[in-house]
Structure 1
Amino acid sequence: MNLKVLPNAINTGKLVLSNVADDPTFFALQVARRFKSNPVLGALISTLGSDNSNIRLRALSAMLRDKSSAFQSACRDWVSTGGNPSHAVFLANLCIASNEWKIAEELLSRGAPSNAHVRANARLLWSLGRMTDAINLLRDIRSGRQLSHYESELATFKGREPQLAAPRVPDKSNSETRSVIYVATNSLPHTGSGYAQRTHSILTSLKEAGWRVKGLTRVNYPLNIGKLSASETDVVSDIEYQRCLPFPAKHDLTGRIQQQAEDLLARVIREKPSVLHTTTDFSNALAVKAVAEATRTPWVYEVRGQLADTWLSTRPDSSKDSERYRLFLEREAFVAQHADHVFTLGDAMKRNLVDAGVDERKISILPNGIGEKFVEEPVSRRQARDQLRLDSEAFYVGTVSSLVHYEGLSTVIRAVAELANQHESLRLLIVGDGIDRENLVSLAKKLGIAGRCVFPGRIPREQAHLYHAALNVFVVPRIDSAVTRSVTPLKPVEALASKVPVLASDLPALRELITDGENGHLIKAGAVAEWAECIEKLMLNPENARRMGKSGREFVLANRTWEQNALSIVEVYERVISKAPGQ
């Protein structure tokens, strides 16, 4: 029996109460998304919306199924019919959880005054980045847990750091000189995201380069994604991932970072690593920074995304002037400035770091790379399709991606719809899951091409190379936003390795991967007609597509493998270790 089950269950129960206090509707939405593949739950959620006369249940059902059009329609019906004011808070909370900011504001303007109404207004202000305004509202009604969590998070955003006991410098005279503790937000086997895959690839490549490596994940992970039987350690393909599972766990941001720092300090004293390495966001870095300074251990910060801009991408433009956005940028700049070295994904992100005041001399590019199956010669298209039971004669355009709004996949669905009548063999394959999936499926139905579209959902990692190899064209139709202009994604790198030409939005981060006419094409973001034209050109000129695919693989093998990346990481590690006090 796993002795951690009872304390894990208690910590998880407290986490649930914490989430319910902060935003019960958003928590319910996250739970529904996690278990939506369960047929019983799916049927129950659908049944909720079967009574058209009950607007609240219609809206709840649509929200839980990620049916944004149906959800918006239900909320607007309530507004237009002058619904019961006591229902406004319920619907507004649904809107806040679904990023429907304007409708939420309108609903709350019609709601009946109450403490619940104040809490919902505070939740809306908080979600839009108006942190102090939200806190002031909650102080007026002495709102308890929601207020304390907001205050804790604002304190961290304003500069609060973990406090450790007097510095303890480990005796490293008998320690290994090539060892690293790598602090990450999540990891395999519990999370299969691109983030987790990148972490695993880095640790694997470092181990193959002769380093002793250990991964360490954030406080209360993976309990916070529902894994109650989590143990202290997981070993995945010979890589050890340790868990930070204190009891009782803190659930406010300041408390979590403090516990992370205390846990890491004990490990550093015991294991004596020669370097610490962590990744975005800044909450990870604050814990690592505190321990590094207390133990005089060099540390490296890996900036994998523009997370303030990711947050902004689901908010109205006005949130760019918000307190949260400004403080988010400041905290990220602060930790990057204090790290001994900074890695980032590409040139666009490096420029952003320099503009934020980080010394250019201590920034290195550590791009997304390929390993495992993608280094091997890809399987033939026919073989991949046979294994996946896809039409061997069709022309498949598609992607393997998180299905979120900024990926811009509606552009490709519309482009395929424009070409459908002229090209009987054209098909669309969209692999992955996310909050935009149901909207994309609905759009395909609306445009009359549902029969040409395949949405397999989330797939096992070991099948990813097959889906890449099965495609004729890989698409990255990202919208033009701050985050997409800066962050270079992993999946097109894997597509290029699979000898598949890539069509991508003409954005700075994607220009780092795609050379127009050589390994794909760059197309104006959102320009449906131009996307359709490029797809058709590749359909009519298969020899050109093969040439681009071959060129793409040559580029990736020459520039984007984890074996090459490991050499860069090791060189940085050795440099910062040599400059550390006492070396």
Structure 2
Amino acid sequence: MNIQSYLQKWFERIQIDRTVVLKPNIISNIANTAQLVLANVADDPTYFALQVARRFRSSPILRQVIDRLSSERASLSLRALAAMLTDDRSCLRSVCERYLQSERSSRQSVFFANLCIASDEWILADMLLDQSAKTKSAVKSRARLLWARGHMSEAIAVLGSGYGGRQLRHYRSEFSVFRGLEPNLPATTETMLGAKKCNSIMYVSTNSLPHTGSGYAQRTHSILKALVDEGWAVKALTRVNYPLNIGKLAADLQDTVDGITYERCLPFPAQHDFAGRIQQQAEDLLARVKKDNPSVLHTTTDFSNALAVKAVAEATGIPWIYEVRGQLADTWLSTRPDGSETSERYQLFMERESYVARHADHVFTLGEAMKQNLIRSGVKESKISLLPNGIGDEFLEEPVDRTQARGQLGLDPEAFYAGTVSSLVPYEGLSTLVRAVARLADEFPSLRLLIVGDGTDRENLIMLARELGIESRCEFPGRVPREQAHLYHSSLNTFAVPRVESAVTRSVTPLKPVEALASGVPVLASDLPALRELITDGENGHLVRPEDVEDWTGSLRTMILEPSRAYKMGKSGREFVLSSRTWAQNAKTIIQIYCRVVNQTS
């Protein structure tokens, strides 16, 4: 009997009624998490180690371990491991290239290849695997590389010759969903058609506060609060096994934040393959819908959420809304090599997103660029509404005085701060900003760089600042409490969005510059379609050529030299946001659409 079966029998024997007890048994949480760890280790143990390291990077113990691994006396394999765990891709490339020039062993080549796969160093991984004998570990690594690059059926074929196990089962499960598998729900005896009155929703999201503080979770919370303020009854549900899947072992069956209750889908035992998770989500959601009978179902990207909600909507007759917050296929593509747009994964990902959007009763999206993409994918324009990112309560209030904000945060009251509050990932293009600041450092001694947030690019940005000799002028406070975010916005003289040009950045409008505008801070942004929807050049900021360090340097110099003009831009930006980007305004749009789809299905 495996551990999951044993725990299931133990759980039944002590007869805990999960529908009554608020806090789930810690043993079931541990068992589900253990199974999740095993699933991740089977798929890619190196990437799992990287995810753990990212989560606990601030730990002094982990820092000491990594320092030892990266010492000059350590072996090449240990130094490569340290580089991978710190997201130092430059160091990883250097160490792997030294290894390739030295005497090699097949086993070590696979180890180095796994590090490169986890760090998106595809070419090096390919070269290293070419040096390896066809052992089981090498075959599994080759499959990981193919899978990571989007060659799904090829990866399955490689594993199918006797090397698969859990990894093969997980790949087959995910591939089946990408190719069209949907949840299978029993037919209901009668069509429910939601509540008689148009006044209640069930909202299904990927994650939420208080366990995740991302822009995604903030947007969900703002929408739900705005709907409650309009008198709507709200039920919020997060995806299956969240927040156990981010390490919250003591998770409750619900959390309440600012009066919004988030219910958790924590079945025991939980499924950890892609198709199994979606099936469990649909079954759990159906049970809740039968109990609460909401007027509308509402869910957000990605399509796996939508598949579960679509199945429940079809089983009950309740209308459903799909909120397209991003283009996750393009986000995936942004970290892949050229030519990946023809890969199986990308093509199927795009098709699945289009499929669920076409079948929803209505679609919300962030901006005009994303709307046009939806129309091109076959979604009728008449059933698409814009629901742009808005500002919450802390940004509706008059911004905190810059000197006061800096005093609370311990920042230099006399300096000129350029920077951002963002997820620190490569497509944000923040290396361009670092280089621009470095070029202006001698000319403007008071210039400082403030980059708030965390992500895979944080360590690379810190090292770049060190290489350019401006480390003492830069502050990287990492992820900050959400109640402090508005203070960091208010502390800046100019907010920067130096995104690189890619499919995802051309279409997706970020939240943070909206909050910067609300704070009265002028914005320098890459000249991309999605950002043109926010920034009017010369009015509330400047549009700058993406990845053009010289143009960014010139625009930043202008902001420093013309403070009165920058002040007017900041004031104009706040007026723009207050007039068109509040959650109260968005709530009225949402409710209007809810009632329309309810009336259409009644």
TM-score calculated relative to the size of structure 2: 0.95
* Cα distance change, pair 200–168 in 1 and its aligned pair in 2 (3 A): farther
Q: Give the 3-state SS of the residue equivalent to 1:141 in structure 2.
A: coil
Q: Structure 2 residue aligned with 1:439, among 429, 437, 460?
A: 460
Quick one: distance in 1 between partners of 2:73 and 2:533?
A: 50
> Distance between the aligned counterparts of 2:311 and 2:122, measured in 1?
37
- Distance in 2 of aligned mates of 1:240 and 1:398: 34
Task: Output the CA distance in 2 between the equivalents of 1:122 and 1:171.
Answer: 46
Equivalent residue number for residue 328 of structure 1: 349
Find the counterpart in structure 2 of residue 162 from structure 1: 183
- Distance apart, 1:170 and its partner CA: 6.0
1:450 aligns with 2:471: yes
Q: Which residue of 1 aligns with 2:573?
A: 552
| Equivalent residue in structure 1 for 2:556, among 518, 527, 535 | 535
Unaligned runs of 5+ in 2: 1-21
For residues 88-99 of structure 1, the aligned pairs below 5 Å read: 88-99=109-120
Deviation (angstroms), 1:534: 0.8
Kindly state the Cα deviation for residue 216 of structure 1 after the two structures are TM-superposed: 0.3
CA shift digits 1:419-452 (9 cap, x unpaired): 1111011000000001100000000010000011
1:30 aligns with 2:61: no
Q: How far, CA to CA, are the matches of 1:521 and 1:172 in structure 2?
A: 49
Partner in structure 2 of residue 271 of structure 1: 292
Structure-1 separation of matches of 2:336 and 2:442 = 37
Of 354, 358, 376, which residue of structure 1 is paired with 2:397? 376
CA contact (8 A) 2:406 2:413 kept: yes
Q: Could you tell me which amino acid in structure 1 is paired with residue 293 of structure 2?
A: K
Per-residue deviation, 1:177: 3.4
CA 1:173–1:49: 2 relative to 1, 3 Å = closer
Partner in structure 2 of residue 417 of structure 1: 438
AA in 2 matched with 1:372:
D
Separation in 2, partners of 1:210, 1:554: 27
2:274 paired residue number: 253
Deviation at 1:45, TM superposition (A): 1.7
Distance 1:173 1:115, change over 3 A: closer
Quote the offset at 1:167 in angstroms. Answer: 2.5
Residue number among 221, 239, 254 corresponding to 1:233 in the alignment = 254
Distance 1:3 1:556 in 2: 42
Give the CA deviation at 1:547.
0.3
How far residue 68 of structure 1 moved from its aligned partner, in angstroms, is 1.5
- 2:494 matches 1:477: no
Q: 1:2 offset after TM fit, Å?
A: 4.5
- The 2-side partners of 1:329 and 1:318 are apart by 15
Kindly tell me: are residues 51 and 208 of structure 1, through their superposed partners in 2, closer, same or farther at Cα, counting changes over 3 Å? same
Whole-angstrom distance in 2 between the partners of 1:384 and 1:168: 59
Structure-to-structure mapping, 1:388-403, within 5 angstroms? 388-403=409-424
* Residue equivalent to 1:465: 486
Aligned-pair identity in percent equals 64
Instruction: Map Cα deviations across residues 313-345 of structure 1 (whole Å, 9 max, x no partner).
Output: 000012111000000000000000000000000
Structure 2 residue aligned with 1:179 = 200
Residue 309 in structure 1 maps to residue 305 in structure 2? no
Matched, 1:365 2:354: no
The change in CA–CA distance for 1:142 and 1:267 in structure 2 (over 3 A counts) is same
Displacement of 1:50 after TM fit?
A: 1.6
Q: Which whole-Å deviations, capped at 9, do the CAs of 1:121-148 have from their partners, x for residues lacking one?
A: 0000000000000000000124111000
User: CA offsets, 1:267-299, max 9 Å, x none?
Assistant: 000000000000000000000000000000000
* Alpha-carbon distance in 2 for matches of 1:50, 1:245: 43
The offset of 1:71, in angstroms, is 1.2
CA contact (8 A) 2:495 2:521 kept: yes
Q: Which of 66, 71, 75 is the aligned partner of 1:54?
A: 75
* 2:571 matches 1:524: no
Provide the C-alpha distance between the structure 2 equivalents of 1:448 and 1:79, rounded to a whole number of angstroms: 31
Counting matched residue pairs gives 581
Residues in 2 aligned to 1:522 and 1:273: alpha-carbon distance in whole angstroms? 44
Cα deviation code 1:209-241 (max 9, x no counterpart) = 110001100000000000011111110010010
User: Which residue of 485, 488, 491 corresponds with 2:512?
Assistant: 491
Contact kept? 1:168, 1:294, Cα under 8 Å? no
Deviations 1:36-82 (A, max 9, x none): 11101111122112254511100001111111111111111111114
Tell me if 1:508 matches 2:511. Answer: no
* 2: CA distance, partners of 1:341 / 1:177: 16
Q: Aligned partner of 2:351: which letter?
A: E
Any idea what SS the aligned residue of 2:202 has? strand
Q: What is the one-letter code of the residue matched to 2:447?
A: L
Which residue of the partner structure matches residue 18 of structure 1?
A: 39
The alignment's C-alpha RMSD in Å is 1.1
Query: Could you tell me how far apart the structure 2 residues matched to 1:145 and 1:187 are?
Result: 29
Provide the rounded CA distance (Å) in 1 between the counterparts of 2:197 and 2:224: 17
Residue 84 of structure 2 corresponds to which residue in structure 1?
Answer: 63
Where in structure 2 are the equivalents of 1:130-145 lying within 5 Å?
130-145=151-166
Output the CA distance in 2 between the equivalents of 1:247 and 1:174: 30
Distance 1:168 1:71, change over 3 A: farther
Secondary structure of the residue aligned to 2:263 is: strand
d(CA) in 1 for partners of 2:580, 2:84: 43
Q: CA 1:312–1:448 in 2, change beyond 3 Å: closer, same or farther?
A: same
Partner in structure 2 of residue 575 of structure 1: 596
1:340 to 338, 361, 368: 361
Quote the residue 2:217 is aligned against: 196
TM-score by length of 1: 0.98
Query: How much does 1:30 deviate?
Result: 0.3
Equivalence for 2:15 = none
Separation (CA, whole Å) in 1 of partners of 2:208 and 2:455: 19
Superposed, 1:217-232 pairs within 5 Å as 217-232=238-253
Counterpart contact for 2:193–2:317, Cα < 8 Å: no
- Residue aligned with 1:396, SS: strand
How far apart are the structure 1 equivalents of 2:141 and 2:100? 17
Q: Per-residue deviation at 1:168? A: 4.2
